[in-house]
Amino acid sequence: MSAEATNPEAHPEARPELRRRGRTRLDLRRLGRAALLGPTSRDRLPDAIGHVAEAHRAHHPDADLSVLRRAYLLAETSHRGQMRKSGEPYITHPLAVTLILAELGAETTTLTASLLHDTVEDTDVTLDQVGEEFGDEVRFIVDGVTKVEKIDYGAAAEPETFRKMLVATGNDVRVMSIKLADRLHNMRTLGVMRPEKQARIAKVTRDVLIPLAERLGVQALKTELEDLVFAILHPEEYERTRALIAAHAGERDPLPAIADSVRTVLREAGITAEVQVRPRHFVSVHRIARKRGELRGSDFGRILVLVGENADCYAVLGELHTCFTPVVSEFKDFIATPKFNLYQSLHTAVATPDGQVAEVIVRTRQMHRVAEAGVVALGNPYATVPAAPTACTTGTAPTAPPPSAKAAPTGSATGSTAGSVPAADASGGPAAADPYEERVDPTRPGWLSRLLDWQQSAPDPDTFWSVLRAELAQDREITVFRADGGTLGLPAGASCIDAAYAQHGEAAHGCIGARVNGRLTSLSSPLSDGDTVQLLLAQDASSGPAAEWLDHARTPAARIAISSWLEAHPDRAMAPTTAARAPLSVVGARGGGANAVADLPNAPVRLAGCCTPVPPDAVAGFVVRGGAVTVHRVHCAAVTQMRAVGRTSVAVHWRATADCRVTLLAESFGRPHLLADLTEAIAREGVEVVSATVEPPVEQRVRHSYTLQLPDAAGLPALMRAMRNVPGVYDVSRA
């Protein structure tokens, strides 16, 4: 956009895609002169957008270019007289942005909006005029990339602009595609700005735009943005990396010979494939150098194998691992398990007989297009209702359609259509037909839905800005299954707390525990990809999160919700920890061996507390200090220890009476009146409490130990069932 206009010759060495393609760099000054010549004849395109038309027709041979002509004429006349800081006519900027998108394969609507993306912000053109001339879709996209007024928002203008843009992206991913291309051209031409402003723009690009490009799968933009940011923020390391690449250029590169060997192997196997050597970009070389220290000749690039079908990818992999020595630790299958940004490929590394190691990427041509262009490669995702990513034939389509774009959160009021499609024109008249009505966006991933959810709870721009950067720093996503059969998309490292807020929203304040893969676990437990999680909520409406939850919450939605609740309940947030409290004990009359009789006259008999035997358990007795006999169940671990140390074994049997004493352990989640409810349940079964101990809560989990006198041992199963039925109790077992 206009605030970022600079020198077009800045960092030409940081554009590896131009070296790969051999494309001549555009002469923006010549294009600017052509733009100033004004409209050409009505039957042909203006010369200034000839490059755009050529690139667009390469991907869409049947595209109607007349709308591009009209968009260009409106943009050129609107920006006429405006100059970039480098002295070029301003129209060169939307032309360059549109060319970037055309080369990625963007469809006509995206290119139309791209040509017009600065008109509403920097000229007298209004959104209504854009809508009347080009339709509601173009109007919505242009509005999505238009900055909010700095005069209205002051220092919050940049965060609120990104909030508006992201909310609009929730309805139409093409908004962010244009923003990424816009930032790329501004980064290419950043040289005439003051160093401090270059650094500020580069940091925002690094923290927000590059992660967004990665998540949307637009690798072609992401890699060049990384190199340009690298050159600005780390000039010394950038120069060292550039020197490494320059030194390698004068040496013999082993990759072409390895690529020839791969071609021969695949040709002899009857596999039709295209084999390329792909040089690494600057940041990639820098990362490899930091990881390995001294670089090998094959570290400056990778071999790319393109085939026709998915099955051919695995056939290529088999031949490579048969004819070369595979490096097993380098193998990754992103076809069977695609990345969350649509990326699919097979990654491997092979060693040649002379000791060279080459990384190899295997993918179909369609996978390659998606890997380079991401969501841009999907064309117009709203062409049909319901939409399906027909361009993505590699198995990346979601298993279930995401929520309708119409239901996306609206966010704060940062623009006329920031978070919802135009409901009415600027004059307050009736709304135009909504082009987004009932649409299902196949390109909206889980991370974007989460972002749209939590941004509503972050009205403060500073909070939104800091949390957004933290959210985008999460570079991997996992999928966990809910107990009801649904799924949750969470960032790697997320805990049960994050899952609770993702599934239940503010109702998760009452979460008291979770079962992961059927086993009870603490809320702080991290989740892994493919886990099944069942979240347990308290019935007490006064329940709330503990301050310690913030130590284990990873998602912004969870952290914002917990912090808000703690701020609203300062007494609960400052409550002293319960770990220092002593166990609560209730003791009644104690008995001895109850109805156990040892075959040792006059010897006192005690029932072991470790296994609490009751009739009709098979038992064994052992003489201990003082001549007493302790009675254990025969399968108790203590029996083996007694025999190992040579304790005297004594035969034990049960009296004919049915009463018995037993110790039960009740595991529960903490809540008010739990001890009273458990004691009442025991009393209803006609059982006497000999003693009771309640341990201090740990992560809202409480352990109760009861020693009970039963009138009849046969009633033990019913007693344990009655205790388990008390709300909050999840397990009852014998000691």
Q: Which two three-digit tokens encode residue 669?
A: 């989640």
Residue 381: name the closest of 370, 371, 368 by CA.
370
Q: Catalytic annotation on 462?
A: no
**Exposed e or buried b per residue across 586-620, where buried means at least 16 C-beta atoms within 10 angstroms of its C-beta:** eeeeeeebbbbbbebeebebbbbeebbbbbebebb
Q: Which two three-digit tokens encode residue 399?
A: 């298993």
Using CA atoms, how far apart are residues 587 and 566, in angstroms rounded to an integer? 38
Among residues 13, 17, 121, 133, the one annotated as catalytic is 121
* Spatial contact of 442 and 379, defined as CB atoms under 8 Å apart: no
Q: Which residue has the tokens 């339709």?
A: 135
User: For 104, phi and psi rounded to 5 degrees?
Assistant: -80, -10
DSSP string, 26-52: P-HHHHHHHHHT----TTS--GGGHHH
Q: Catalytic annotation on 529?
A: no
* Spatial contact of 140 and 168, defined as CB atoms under 8 Å apart: yes
Among residues 76, 122, 172, 224, the one annotated as catalytic is 122
Using CA atoms, how far apart are residues 513 and 520, in angstroms rounded to an integer? 8
Beta-strand relationship, 629-633 and 605-607: parallel
* Cα angle for residues 421, 426, 431 (degrees, 5° grid): 50
Q: Is the four-CA dihedral 13, 16, 18, 20 of positive or negative sign?
A: positive
Can you give 642-653 as a three-state secondary structure string?
HHHCCCCEECEE
Using CA atoms, how far apart are residues 106 and 79, in angstroms rounded to an integer? 23
195 Cβ contact list (under 8 Å, min separation 6):
none
Name the residues annotated as catalytic.
121-122
